[in-house]
Amino acid sequence: MTKQTFVVLAYMAIWGGLALYVAGLARRQARVARQIEALRERLGRGEE
Amino acid sequence: MTSRRVPLLPLLSAVLLPAAVAMVFFYAPTERTMGVVQKIFYFHLSLAAVAFLSFFVACVAGVLYLVRGKRRWDAWGAAGVEVGVVFTTLVLITGSLWGRPIWNTWWTWDPRLTTSLILWFIYTACLILRSAVESETRRATYAAVMAVAGFVDVPIVFLSARLFRSIHPTVIRSDSVGLEPSMIATLVVCMAAMLVFWAGLVRLRYGLHLQEAELGDLTRRLGG
Amino acid sequence: MSRVWFLYRKDLRIEFRKKESVASMTFFGALVLVILNVAQGPGRRLTPETAAGVLWVAVIFSAVLGLGRVFARERENGCISALLVSPASPGTVFTAKALVNLTLMLLSQAVLVPVFFVLFGTGLAGGPLALVPSLLLVDAGFSAAGTLLSAVSAGTRRNEVLLPILLFPLILPLVALAVKATGGALAGRPLTELLPLLEPLAAFGLIYAAAGYLLFPFVVREG
């Protein structure tokens, strides 16, 4: 492997890894927000 | 939950990070002995610095949680540990990819690398601990204790890594890299960009933790 | 101070009546030594450093076995809550437990070290006595950090698995230094040459004694 390959690999690892992590966080947050909304609605109906 | 609507940190890092990458490849000169591989160094070092900063944040948040017992300190602690582990993983990967062409080995027991590796183990254990406790307050306390206990290990880890090496002498000295002014400028920009990005990430993770805790509260209220 | 002594004697008395920890620790440690001896292959001699590594693998693995029991027992009997309402402060409980662990480790090592010398001793310049300083220091650090973390892991669902996962990363530097120090001792180097390695070992013990004393109350209050 040439030296350039290592640089490319390293940068792919950094940005790929960070992008995956951010994407994972965003998905988790979207899911949690959705669930909170649903629960709030149920809670609101239950109190009426 | 202050100034939630202005995504200042993400916007700023969206500008700074590409600028930093551009500086690394187009502004900073290619290093004489290591060649193009040295371009890994800028982000490797930035990642390592902010990873260490995350663990420090986790330790401080742990102490504050134990003293104050507020949920938000647990959230900062959780964010610090998780983001720190992600960044340390990247530090280890890039370190390996840097070491292979330069020192002809994927791994060496250099003090800094060793410290990173041990920190990675300590804080990954912390994540595993979190997943193993169900009660929220208990999980928070245990995680805080572990974050503090892990951080006080750092001086010993670094010292032992240095002593460990001293009998198996190696000629690796990553600080002997002579940096030109333009390289230092690039490094500073990379560090700043990574710091802003890191702050945004920790903040995101912090918000997620609070949301999940709120979800838990709501579920409990519905469940009875 | 007298309370520490009282709790310490109470735990040791239970321990000696049942003989569960020390016996299994020693047995397991000896087993590890034999396995490593078999793995090494017949008729080969180890360098002092490798021999030191073998000893520490056996010591650490046998010690973690005993650690888990100290708190598991309290939890099974609901003794933690009893200790909490008793006049003994959590810090006192921590000190007593750490001393019990230290004693158990020393007792099992009193057997393990001779076994080690029988199996691996040929050609080593240093004798068992040369190992005493590093063994004492590592045991102190190990039991301080181990007592704190076994209290943590005892409160989780996966107690037995979690303890080594939490503890081993923290004591990694301890083991690294201990291997170096005992390697030197086994090679017959004088104690004064090993001092730079022994000092951080002592520092580790002090740091975790303090951290454990301060953090332990928070952990048991959650119990």
Tell me which residue in B36, B89, B219 faces A4 most closely, judged by beta carbons: B36
β partners of residue B35: B31
Verify whether the Cβ–Cβ distance C215 to B148 is below 8 Å.
Answer: yes
Residue B219: pLDDT over 70: yes
What residues in B contact C155, CB-CB < 8 Å? 133, 138, 142
Tell me which residue in A6, A36, A46 faces B211 most closely, judged by beta carbons: A36
Short-list C203, C140, C146, CA closest to C169: C146
Task: Supply the pLDDT for residue B62.
Answer: 95
For residues B152-171, average pLDDT = 71
For residues B127-145, average pLDDT = 91
Task: Supply the pLDDT for residue C190.
Answer: 83
Structure tokens at B144: 């805080």
User: So where are chain B's domains?
Assistant: 41-169+179-223
* Model ipTM over 0.95: no
For residues B162-168, average pLDDT = 62
Task: Supply the pLDDT for residue B91.
Answer: 92
Q: Which residues, other chains included, contact A17 with Cβ-Cβ below 8 Å and sequence gap of 6+?
A: B86, B89, B90, B93
In the complex, which subunits touch B with 3 or more CB pairs below 8 angstroms?
A: A, C
Residue B4: pLDDT over 80: no
Residue B172: pLDDT over 50: no
Alpha-carbon span B77 to B55, nearest angstrom: 9
Verify whether the Cβ–Cβ distance B160 to C173 is below 8 Å.
Answer: yes
Nearest-CA residue of chain B relative to A2? B101
Short-list C210, C1, C207, C189, CA closest to C92: C1
Task: Supply the pLDDT for residue C120.
Answer: 85
Task: Supply the pLDDT for residue C144.
Answer: 94
Task: Supply the pLDDT for residue C161.
Answer: 85
What residues in B contact A29, CB-CB < 8 Å? 204, 207-208, 211
Verify whether the Cβ–Cβ distance B145 to C170 is below 8 Å.
Answer: no
Verify whether the Cβ–Cβ distance A3 to B93 is below 8 Å.
Answer: no
B22 inside 8 A of chain A by CB: no
Verify whether the Cβ–Cβ distance B160 to C165 is below 8 Å.
Answer: no
Verify whether the Cβ–Cβ distance A6 to B97 is below 8 Å.
Answer: yes
Instruction: Give the largest Cα separation in chain C, rounded.
Output: 58
What residues in B contact C200, CB-CB < 8 Å? 156, 159-160, 163
Residue B173: pLDDT over 60: no
Task: Supply the pLDDT for residue B95.
Answer: 87
Q: What is the DSSP letter of B168?
A: S
Tell me which residue in A11, A29, A42 faces B208 most closely, judged by beta carbons: A29
What residues in B contact C204, CB-CB < 8 Å? 156
Verify whether the Cβ–Cβ distance B149 to C174 is below 8 Å.
Answer: no
Tell me which residue in B100, B211, B221 faces A29 most closely, judged by beta carbons: B211
Task: Supply the pLDDT for residue B38.
Answer: 80
C63 Cα to chain B: minimum distance (Å): 19
β partners of residue B31: B35
Terminal Cα-to-Cα distance of chain A (whole angstroms): 69
Task: Supply the pLDDT for residue C75.
Answer: 66
Task: Supply the pLDDT for residue B165.
Answer: 66
Task: Supply the pLDDT for residue B97.
Answer: 87
Alpha-carbon span C83 to C80, nearest angstrom: 5
Cβ atoms of residues B71 and B219 within 8 Å: no
The H-assigned helical ranges of chain B are 8-22, 39-68, 71-103, 111-131, 136-151, 154-167, 181-223
Taking chain C (223 residues) in runs of 10, the rounded mean pLDDT of each run is 82 78 89 90 80 92 84 66 69 89 92 90 80 91 93 82 91 90 86 85 93 91 72
Enumerate residues 12 to 31 of chain A having a beta carbon within 8 A of any beta carbon in chain B. Answer: 13-14, 17-18, 21-22, 25-26, 28-29
Verify whether the Cβ–Cβ distance C157 to B156 is below 8 Å.
Answer: no
Cβ atoms of residues C112 and C135 within 8 Å: no
Nearest-CA residue of chain B relative to A43? B222
Reported as a single tens digit per residue, the pLDDT across A4-28 is: 888 888 888 999 999 999 999 999 9
Buried b (16+ CB within 10 A) or exposed e, C30-66: bebbeebbeebeeeeebebbbbbbbbbbbbbbbbbbb
What residues in B contact A10, CB-CB < 8 Å? 40, 43-44, 93-94, 97-98
For residues B27-42, average pLDDT = 78
B168 inside 8 A of chain A by CB: no
Higher pLDDT among residues C70 and B149, named by residue: B149
Nearest-CA residue of chain B relative to A11? B40
- Residue B197 pLDDT class (50, 70, 90 cuts): very high
List, in sequence order, every beta strand (DSSP E) within chain C: none
Cβ atoms of residues B149 and C148 within 8 Å: yes
Q: Which residues, other chains included, contact C57 with Cβ-Cβ below 8 Å and sequence gap of 6+?
A: C32, C36
DSSP one-letter string for B170-213:
----GGG-PPPHHHHHHHHHHHHHHHHHHHHHHHHHHHHHHHHH
Inter-chain contacts counted by CB atoms under 8 A, chains A and B: 76
